Chain A
Amino acid sequence: MKTRGGKGKWFTLRTILRVMAFHRGLYAASAVGWMIFHLWPLLPGVLGKALFDTLEGGTEAELNLTTIVAILVAAGLARMASIFGATVAVAGWHVRTRGLVQRNLLARLFERPGARAMPGNVGAGISTLRDDSEAISLMGDWGFDALSAVIFASTGLAILISVDARVTLLVMVPMICVIALAQLAKARAHTLRERSRAATAQVTGTIGEIVVAVRAIQAAGTQDNVVAHLARQGDERRHAMVRDKTQSYALDAVFNSTASLGAGLILLTAAGAMRSGDFTIGDFVLFATYLMQVASYTGFIGYLVRTFQQVRVSLDRSVELMQGAPPMDVVKHHPLYLKSDAPVDVPPRRADEPLDVLNATGLTYRFPGSERGIDDVSLRVERGSVTVVAGPMGAGKTTTLRALLGLLDRQGGEIDWNGRAVADPGDFLVPPRVAYTAQTPTLVSGTLRENILLGLPDDGGVVTDAVRRAVLGPDVASMPDGLDTEIGVRGVRLSGGQIQRTAAARMFARDPELLVMDDLSSALDVETERELWRMVFSAGVTVLAVSHRRAVLERADQIVLLDSGSVVARGTLLELLDTSPQMRRLYGPEAARPH
């Protein structure tokens, strides 16, 4: 995996050190516990040798049988205690460090323009927050794991050499060969694993789509074709899976056979020495026991190398998600509020400066890697006026609103509020100055009330009033728990129209100087929509909206007509129908006439 901007191994090590410094006490406790755990396997071999030496009555027999068993039991108890302590300590530590990385990523994404908070698709961002944060947190273990591995290997080798240097070398050489072989095989294993994973993802994806599209599939009457399609993908997966699994079994076999292979080699090389008594049965037991560790030890080293490589990828992905923030911010220490609630900033009730005029000139935004977007769009919204942005599909209406509100990172254009320049509209054109309802709003799980308030204090009937103005009253009345009804993940228990009006209520609850609405009507029936617009206009508040509705166009003080990302005309409906052929084509009387 290539790394960007000169970050690499050293950056990875620095981040690991930084993560390790988070909640040091817990980390130290985990480290001590796990090191006892990792080093323990050195003991049974030594005790086994002691046992056979004692039984054979050799010169080295200084322990009696009872002592050996007593040491074994005492060490066993120590191991159990260390397992428990270390597990508890490291579990708490993982939740915290992982939470820290997630907190940092989340906080950064919330700083980015809201409509394009992530560089890639949302799914990839979510998976970074979910999986890469875990990989980074698990890397903390790497510190004590790697240290234990070094101590384990050097102590083990020292013991073996002190017993028999020749056998140690003759056994170690084939072992190194095996490790090298396994390492080579690993590179290939990677591609096979990817293939089977991709095949699995394909099957899972198809099942997901089939289940969502049952109605459409039945409507098309193509059940058999769809099942055949799934079966084809299943076959592909079977091939990939069987190859992948067989290969990993074969690799496991290589590792598993190191113990027997090594034991056989010792028997071969030490046969003479054993006959003469230079190499005792106790020595063989020691070597054989340690050989059993070699398999798991090489596996462990492989794991350490792999996790180090994986964390580099995870860190790269996280840094990419940080979009320009200093890379070390991924692991910057912050409080996690594990004892009390985190503070919530409540926006002031009233804007410090009421809106007189909001002016935007030359707004320009291009979608990355495409020619689409808006170019040099200007808008002027005066207090108490209604401004409607209109135009055909793909003209840039939504983009214009988003660029104005800082929900997209505009590439050009000036914005000013009452003549004062607004540098970052994403932080400035928000409640209580401006509130916005997106075309397809996204809610979060929780109650209807929580979704309308989003942290606002519910005093003076804010919610009830907002619900009334958003024409959500009858819906709320029919819900089992009224405003305290749980709306489900992303509001699945609400209809499209209810989601849109909940977002509208959220906007009204903020009582802003300027209402910005993106096609409020797309999910509402005629009468509900008419009522909603009546509520919007009745307050005499300043409005900026995208709409195709004739009544709204008629009510507009100015219509800004967009086409292909540029303003082609502006004026009232009557003016535009008179002067603009595009407007006539879209909204003129001939457009509504039956053919």
Chain B
Amino acid sequence: MPRTSDSNWVFLRKYLRPQRTSVILMVALLLGSIVVEVAEPRIVSYFIESVQLGASEETLLRIALVFLGAALARQVMHVLASFASERVAWTATNALRADLTAHVLNLDLTFHESRSPGELIERIDGDVNEIAQFFSTLIVRLLGNMLLLVFILVSLFVIDWRIGAACTGVVVVGMLLLQRVSRMAGPRWQADREQSALFFGYVSEALRATEDIRSSSAVSYAMARFHRQLRTWLPVKVRAEAWGSLIWIVVSMVFVALAAVSFGLGGGLFQAGAVPLSDVYLVVTYSVMLATPMEVIREQLQHLQRATAAMWRVSELLAVSSKLRNGTKPLPSGPLSVEFRDVTFSYERDPGSKVLRDLTLSIEPGATLGLVGRTGAGKTTMAHLLFRMYDPRHGQVRLGGVDVKDADLKSLRSRIGFVTQDVHIFDATVRDNLTFFDTGVDDARLLDILHTLGLRPWLTALPDGMDTRISGSSVSAGQAQLIALARVFIKDPGLVILDEPSSRLDPGTGHLLERALDRLLENRTCVVIAHRLDTIRRADTVAVIDGGRVTEHGATRDLLGEPASRLAELCRAGEVLE
């Protein structure tokens, strides 16, 4: 796979280069600790040799102290190397995570519609963590243990080539077996993870649905589904564990084989007078030391595979570029005029069906336009085009006389305020929720807007005021909608797009909002997607949208007064319900 190893290399270079010194230091420490690890048994064997040669007790004690010193030095070097590798890994992956997030945030809606949030979380969080593992453990664990393995085998060859050859044979066969078994076990573990995800998916759904399940008398049904999930999972789990245990069994086998080789061959060669007893000790110790690096290498190779796949997915994501080309023209200040010129639009995922067809419509600066029509008529799409979340197939969208394609995106989005129906409340402070983590907005301005929107009493009741942490579950749907409005007016926009601003408010709060809007929309152009009569009534003109076209456009008063108009017809349905 040349492509994947390429991406490995690119990542290593890009994110490790700034930390060159740390990386070099880490490798040096690691090498040192491995050399000492292999040397330790040598010291003991020298001790044994000295005992047999009848060395003085003083000499023996000195050797023992050298051994202790080496053992301590090795641990210190190992800890330092691990510390360095963790630092390198987290610095590198934090940079990668920030780059990736910024990249994703600047991609257009066409991209975001084709990816689920879960998938993006998997990329930015899951895959990047996998890469962090790669950075932090690859060098220390994989490289370190490979070196250790080689050093030990070489040492065994130096003692006696037959022992070296036999141990190398066991290691090679063992590695091949391990690879094979873990490859076979992989799909079984995958199946187990899938079952586990299904099982807990169901359990968490059922727990969230207690109100529905209780009130539908469906408790025994919900329990029966639980039992069924458990029943499907059981054999899958047992099979995965059985295959997993094979890996362990192979490791045991290798351990026993190495011990048998070193005992039998080492003992035999000693009895034949070919090696001294101190070498038998070395052989036995080294052969026992071989099993651990083998297991670690197998584990790390799996990590490497996963990390490589993760890097490939991440670089693929980084390679996606936004379809929207940024323009250069800034939008004028003050209220903006709005113009749709023969606009045709269809979604990328469904190019055949046109959401907007040759739509033409304009609004004077400072006026309010109501968009009315059934769900799916194209109202929200019009809002998205104004905000340049997509580009039209044909035609032009112009704001303040500038084609949005030529406008600088930053300037465009700072001049337009867009309030959607689904409001996202961050798990963060009130201030961060209003400013989106922008630290440059002063509190007086925030307080002023909250006051206008009638949110002051709410804020006063919070324990820490602006610094109170809130979340989606601690504010009501109505409050969330008001917070979304506050966010928009902090920007001082020249055009405000509202998607049925009062949909989640009770009539009383709705009226309060209406009064607030009167003040906030002063000297601003406004496009409001309206489902309610009250909302329609506040618009200067109304456009009825049907099948992606304007079927009616005129002054609100005139259309409401004309019983034959489409708006009046919709309102008759609306009035009964409002």
Asked whether A260 lies within 8 Å of B91 as measured between CB atoms, the reply is: no
* Interface residue stretch chosen among A148-156, A163-171, A228-236: A228-236
In the complex, which residue of chain A has the Cβ closest to the Cβ of B233? A95
Q: Is A326 an interface residue (CB 8 A)?
A: no
Q: Is B312 an interface residue (CB 8 A)?
A: no
Asked whether B105 lies within 8 Å of A257 as measured between CB atoms, the reply is: no
CB of B56 to closest CB in A, whole Å: 9
Q: Is A421 an interface residue (CB 8 A)?
A: no
Whether A88 touches B79, Cβ cut-off 8 Å, given contacts A223-B102, A587-B507, is no
Q: Is A28 an interface residue (CB 8 A)?
A: no
Interface residues of A in 479-516 (CB under 8 A from B): 489-490, 497, 503, 506-507, 510
* Interface residue stretch chosen among B43-51, B165-173, B328-336, B394-402: B43-51
Whether A263 touches B44, Cβ cut-off 8 Å, given contacts A110-B214, A250-B79, A526-B573, is yes
Q: Is the interface of A mostly helix, strand, loop or mixed?
A: helix
Q: Bound state CA distance, A548 and B389, in angstroms?
A: 34
Q: Please name all residues of chain B whose beta carbon is closer than 8 Å to the beta carbon of A69 when the two chains form the complex.
A: 260, 263-264
CB of A25 to closest CB in B, whole Å: 15
Whether A48 touches B284, Cβ cut-off 8 Å, given contacts A210-B105, A343-B224, is yes
Asked whether A246 lies within 8 Å of B82 as measured between CB atoms, the reply is: yes
Of the candidates B48, B375, B426, the one whose C-beta lies within 8 Å of that of A209 is B426
Q: Please name all residues of chain B whose beta carbon is closer than 8 Å to the beta carbon of A125 when the two chains form the complex.
A: 207
Interface residues of B in 234-252 (CB under 8 A from A): 234, 237-238, 240-242, 244-246, 248-249, 252
Asked whether B533 lies within 8 Å of A592 as measured between CB atoms, the reply is: yes
Which of under 10, 10 to 19, 20 to 34, or 35 or more describes the interface residues of A?
Answer: 35 or more
Asked whether B507 lies within 8 Å of A72 as measured between CB atoms, the reply is: no
Q: Is A384 an interface residue (CB 8 A)?
A: no
Q: Is A176 an interface residue (CB 8 A)?
A: no
Of the candidates A213, A263, A275, the one whose C-beta lies within 8 Å of that of B57 is A275
* Interface residue stretch chosen among A298-306, A308-316, A354-362, A439-447: A439-447
Q: Is B114 an interface residue (CB 8 A)?
A: no
* Interface residue stretch chosen among B59-67, B149-157, B442-450: B59-67
CB of A432 to closest CB in B, whole Å: 8
Asked whether B210 lies within 8 Å of A112 as measured between CB atoms, the reply is: yes
CB of B459 to closest CB in A, whole Å: 16
Q: Please name all residues of chain A whose beta carbon is closer than 8 Å to the beta carbon of B375 when the two chains form the complex.
A: 497, 525
Q: Bound state CA distance, A342 and B423, in angstroms?
A: 42
Q: Residues 160-201 of chain A: 1 if any B CB is under 8 Å from the residue's CB, otherwise 0?
A: 000000000000000000000000000000000000000000
Q: Is A29 an interface residue (CB 8 A)?
A: no
**Residue from B226, B288, B389, B432 having most chain A Cβ neighbours under 10 A:** B226
Chain A to chain B contacts (Cβ below 8 Å), 25 pairs: A44-B288, A91-B237, A91-B240, A91-B242, A95-B238, A114-B210, A114-B211, A115-B211, A209-B427, A219-B420, A245-B86, A256-B75, A260-B40, A265-B68, A267-B67, A275-B54, A336-B230, A337-B227, A436-B215, A438-B211, A444-B206, A455-B221, A497-B375, A529-B577, A592-B533
Q: Is B478 an interface residue (CB 8 A)?
A: yes
Q: Please name all residues of chain A whose beta carbon is closer than 8 Å to the beta carbon of B280 when the two chains form the complex.
A: 51-52, 55
Asked whether B207 lies within 8 Å of A214 as measured between CB atoms, the reply is: no
Q: Residues 103-139 of chain A: 1 if any B CB is under 8 Å from the residue's CB, otherwise 0?
A: 1001101101111011001100110011000000000
CB of B153 to closest CB in A, whole Å: 20
Q: Is A18 an interface residue (CB 8 A)?
A: no
Whether A227 touches B98, Cβ cut-off 8 Å, given contacts A222-B437, A345-B220, is yes
Q: Residues 48-90 of chain B: 1 if any A CB is under 8 Å from the residue's CB, otherwise 0?
A: 1001001001001101110110011011101100110011001
Asked whether A209 lies within 8 Å of B221 as measured between CB atoms, the reply is: no
Q: Please name all residues of chain A whose beta carbon is closer than 8 Å to the beta carbon of B438 when the two chains form the complex.
A: 222, 225
Q: Is B259 an interface residue (CB 8 A)?
A: yes
Q: Is the interface of B mostly helix, strand, loop or mixed?
A: helix
Q: Bound state CA distance, A205 and B87, in angstroms?
A: 22
Q: Bound state CA distance, A325 and B222, in angstroms?
A: 20
Of the candidates A109, A250, A525, the one whose C-beta lies within 8 Å of that of B207 is A109
Q: Please name all residues of chain B whose beta carbon is closer than 8 Å to the beta carbon of A460 when the two chains form the complex.
A: none
Asked whether B117 lies within 8 Å of A211 as measured between CB atoms, the reply is: yes
Whether A522 touches B504, Cβ cut-off 8 Å, given contacts A338-B234, A430-B215, A436-B215, is yes
Q: Bound state CA distance, A584 and B75, in angstroms?
A: 80
Q: Is A253 an interface residue (CB 8 A)?
A: yes
Q: Bound state CA distance, A435 and B216, in angstroms?
A: 6
CB of A286 to closest CB in B, whole Å: 12
* Interface residue stretch chosen among B7-15, B265-273, B346-354, B359-367: B265-273
Q: Is A462 an interface residue (CB 8 A)?
A: no
Of the candidates A68, A94, A336, A503, the one whose C-beta lies within 8 Å of that of B212 is A503
Asked whether B230 lies within 8 Å of A95 as measured between CB atoms, the reply is: yes
Q: Please name all residues of chain B whose beta carbon is closer than 8 Å to the beta carbon of A235 when the two chains form the complex.
A: 94
Asked whether B427 lies within 8 Å of A84 as measured between CB atoms, the reply is: no
Q: Bound state CA distance, A383 and B259, in angstroms?
A: 86
Whether A392 touches B98, Cβ cut-off 8 Å, given contacts A87-B242, A130-B203, is no
Asked whether B252 lies within 8 Å of A393 as measured between CB atoms, the reply is: no
Q: Bound state CA distance, A92 and B228, in angstroms?
A: 16
Q: Please name all residues of chain A whose beta carbon is closer than 8 Å to the beta carbon of B209 when the two chains form the complex.
A: 442-444, 490
Asked whether A245 lies within 8 Å of B82 as measured between CB atoms, the reply is: yes
Interface residues of B in 78-122 (CB under 8 A from A): 78-79, 82-83, 86-87, 90-91, 94, 97-98, 101-102, 104-106, 109, 112, 117, 120-121
* Interface residue stretch chosen among A9-17, A73-81, A465-473: A73-81
Q: Please name all residues of chain A whose beta carbon is closer than 8 Å to the beta carbon of B241 when the two chains form the complex.
A: 87-88, 90-91
Asked whether B105 lies within 8 Å of A445 as measured between CB atoms, the reply is: no
Q: Please name all residues of chain A whose beta carbon is closer than 8 Å to the beta carbon of B223 when the two chains form the complex.
A: 103, 106-107, 110, 342
Q: Is A207 an interface residue (CB 8 A)?
A: yes
Whether A271 touches B64, Cβ cut-off 8 Å, given contacts A87-B241, A238-B94, A256-B75, is yes
Asked whether A281 lies within 8 Å of B121 as measured between CB atoms, the reply is: no
Q: Please name all residues of chain B whose beta carbon is closer than 8 Å to the beta carbon of A238 when the two chains form the complex.
A: 87, 90-91, 94
CB of A394 to closest CB in B, whole Å: 7
Asked whether B578 lies within 8 Å of A110 as measured between CB atoms, the reply is: no
Q: Bound state CA distance, A337 and B97, in angstroms?
A: 46
Q: Please name all residues of chain B whose beta carbon is closer than 8 Å to the beta carbon of A146 when the two chains form the complex.
A: none
Asked whether A218 lies within 8 Å of B389 as measured between CB atoms, the reply is: yes
In the complex, which residue of chain A has the Cβ closest to the Cβ of B205? A444
CB of B108 to closest CB in A, whole Å: 9
CB of B72 to closest CB in A, whole Å: 7
Q: Bound state CA distance, A587 and B577, in angstroms?
A: 12
Asked whether A445 lies within 8 Å of B260 as measured between CB atoms, the reply is: no
Q: Is B313 an interface residue (CB 8 A)?
A: no
Asked whether B79 lies within 8 Å of A249 as measured between CB atoms, the reply is: yes
Q: Residues 249-273 of chain A: 1 if any B CB is under 8 Å from the residue's CB, otherwise 0?
A: 1100110110011011101100110
> Which 6 residue pairs spanning A and B have beta carbons closest together?
A455-B221, A76-B256, A114-B214, A260-B71, A91-B241, A87-B245
Q: Please name all residues of chain A whose beta carbon is closer than 8 Å to the beta carbon of B135 when the two chains form the complex.
A: none
Q: A126-B203, A211-B117, A227-B102 are in contact. List 6 more A-B contacts (CB 8 A).
A: A51-B267, A83-B248, A87-B245, A207-B124, A228-B437, A592-B534
Q: Is B487 an interface residue (CB 8 A)?
A: yes
Q: Please name all residues of chain A whose beta carbon is closer than 8 Å to the beta carbon of B90 when the two chains form the complex.
A: 237-238, 241-242
**Residue from B104, B112, B207, B271 having most chain A Cβ neighbours under 10 A:** B207
Whether A73 touches B260, Cβ cut-off 8 Å, given contacts A110-B223, A257-B71, is yes
Q: Please name all residues of chain A whose beta carbon is closer than 8 Å to the beta carbon of B374 when the two chains form the complex.
A: 525, 527
Whether A526 touches B577, Cβ cut-off 8 Å, given contacts A51-B263, A110-B219, A594-B537, is yes
Asked whether B207 lies within 8 Å of A211 as measured between CB atoms, the reply is: no
Whether A249 touches B213, Cβ cut-off 8 Å, given contacts A214-B112, A267-B47, is no
In the complex, which residue of chain B has the Cβ closest to the Cβ of A233? B94
Asked whether B44 lies within 8 Å of A267 as measured between CB atoms, the reply is: yes
Q: Residues 306-345 of chain A: 1 if any B CB is under 8 Å from the residue's CB, otherwise 0?
A: 0000000000000000000000000000001111011111
Asked whether B67 lies within 8 Å of A264 as measured between CB atoms, the reply is: yes
Asked whether A430 lies within 8 Å of B214 as measured between CB atoms, the reply is: yes
Q: Please name all residues of chain B whose beta carbon is closer than 8 Å to the beta carbon of A430 when the two chains form the complex.
A: 214-217
Q: Bound state CA distance, A210 and B503, in angstroms?
A: 25
CB of A175 to closest CB in B, whole Å: 15
Asked whether A268 lies within 8 Å of B98 as measured between CB atoms, the reply is: no
Whether A73 touches B207, Cβ cut-off 8 Å, given contacts A338-B230, A344-B220, is no
